[in-house]
Copies of this chain bind each other. A is one copy, B any other.
Amino acid sequence: MTIQHAPHIAALLARRDRLLGPDTPLFYDQPLHLVRGEGVWLWDHEGRRYLDVYNNVPSVGHCHPDVVAALARQAKTLNVHTRYLDETILNYADDLVRTFDPELSTVTFTCTGSEANDVALQMAQAVTGSTGLICTDTTYHGNTAAVSQLASVFTPVGGYKPHIRRIPSPDSYRVGAGLTGDALRDAYLSQLADAIASLQHAGLGVSAMLVCPIFANEGLPQPPDGFMEAAVKMVREAGGLYIADEVQSGFARTGEHMWGYRQAGPVPDIVTLGKPMGAGHPIGGVVSRRDHLVAYRRQFSYFNTFGGNPVSAAVGHEVLKVIQRERLLDNSREVGQYLRYGLRMLAQRHEVIGDIRGSGLFVGVELVSDRKARSPATQSARAIVNRLRERGILISRIGAHDNVLKLRPPLVFSREHADHLLTEMDATLTECQPNAG
């Protein structure tokens, strides 16, 4: 299908192709040219306003004035690296680690979530002496050479190396054998046992299991009860660490807890941070047990020129304070519940909605062309995402079949915004009838 673009958009696409290369990722059949953001709203070059139900990076709202002020204030005062002493980074680190369980007492600052996961993998190897890694079969954790080995959605350059083992994402909705409860949990655990045995058999050992604690890219499946506790126990018994990638699930996103790992159960050995940490300013981090950081630093003298600089620290600190001051954890929980209630009402009228999942303001709406067979309605999901964009609502989709609508607005999303979204979704679902694809 060749898509016609308006001349202004076609010109931008041509410049983009020339300067940034072909095939750079872009959203929507008709790409959006954005020029302004504020709170939950974005505006395009023609002044058209969009309700942002996708962007989790500006989790405190686009262009939050307090964050912009903190950024500008520190940028005009001092911005150097961390080989000088600085109180900004220490004040931020103090408040940040206080939001974790006490054993997770240290933080290593990076500039991106990819860098954070790269450090976490190195740290796990330094601690365990092993290299084997376990992740899920529908995942992505970043773009460095080491971290892209974990990706299942794109193949890394040069293909996969022998130290990766994948387990199916533990999904209680879409399972082949019709298992439920403990039997389902045990079926998933036996796949993990196979992965561990395979790494041990290959002489690689288990360095870590690295997962998003809410399985975001996997489509927010609900794991069977007791799965995470048992899985982490098995990994630790095999000598490996549990790394929780909180790049998507952290910073109050799930509404119930500041960190997704609390919802999942076990306290991780290492937690990685990114996306919403600086509301768009490039910050990431690795929160870990002190002994693990010591083991890593003994093997590698990590230094990051920009990581933890005073401006990044001031911005990160302000984002944390805004989350607390504006009670965004409570808002995420309350508006998230309200939104899921509204979606369940929609599901009564729209057969295409097969399942509604997630917590807080991270909601997955699984679309199916047949509720009984649970057949993924991938093409409908695509059409709905594009149609909602025309109606002024920005969402996306996730999951192994790309049939799960991803609703993940800035955390300042209100009931009124949810009502607006539900109204437009209702109209769009009526327009876009499900089909077999």
Contacts and interface: CB of A to CB of B under 8 A. Distances in A.
25 contacts: A15-B90, A18-B105, A18-B106, A19-B105, A19-B107, A20-B107, A21-B108, A24-B82, A33-B86, A34-B84, A34-B86, A37-B78, A42-B80, A63-B75, A63-B78, A67-B75, A75-B280, A79-B279, A111-B112, A115-B143, A125-B157, A156-B300, A274-B305, A280-B311, A282-B312
B83 A27 contact: yes
Given A9-B85, A27-B84, A36-B78, A304 B112 contact: yes
Given A9-B85, A32-B85, 5 more contacts: A12-B90, A21-B106, A79-B281, A122-B148, A125-B158
Instruction: Give me the 5 closest cross-chain CB pairs, A-B, nearest first.
Output: A145-B146, A79-B280, A282-B306, A72-B72, A19-B93
Contacts of A311: 280-281
Contact of A303 (B35, B76, B143): B143
Nearest to A278: B306
A16 interface: yes
Most B Cβ at <10 Å: residue of A113, A296, A304:
A304
Most B Cβ at <10 Å: residue of A22, A34, A83, A309:
A83
Nearest to A16: B90
A420 interface: no
A4 interface: no
Given A79-B63, A282-B306, A290 B21 contact: yes
Contacts of A107: 19-20
Interface string A64-83: 01011001100111111111
Interface stretch (A54-62, A195-203, A262-270, A338-346): A54-62
Contact of A275 (B84, B303, B305): B305
A226 interface: no
A118 interface: yes
Contact of A145 (B78, B122, B158): B122
A154 B301 contact: yes
A25 interface: yes
A118 B117 CA distance: 14
A126 interface: yes
Interface string A89-130: 110011001000000011110011111001101110110000
Most B Cβ at <10 Å: residue of A42, A111, A282:
A282
Contacts of A13: 85
Most B Cβ at <10 Å: residue of A12, A36, A306:
A306
Contacts of A63: 75-79
Contacts of A302: 143
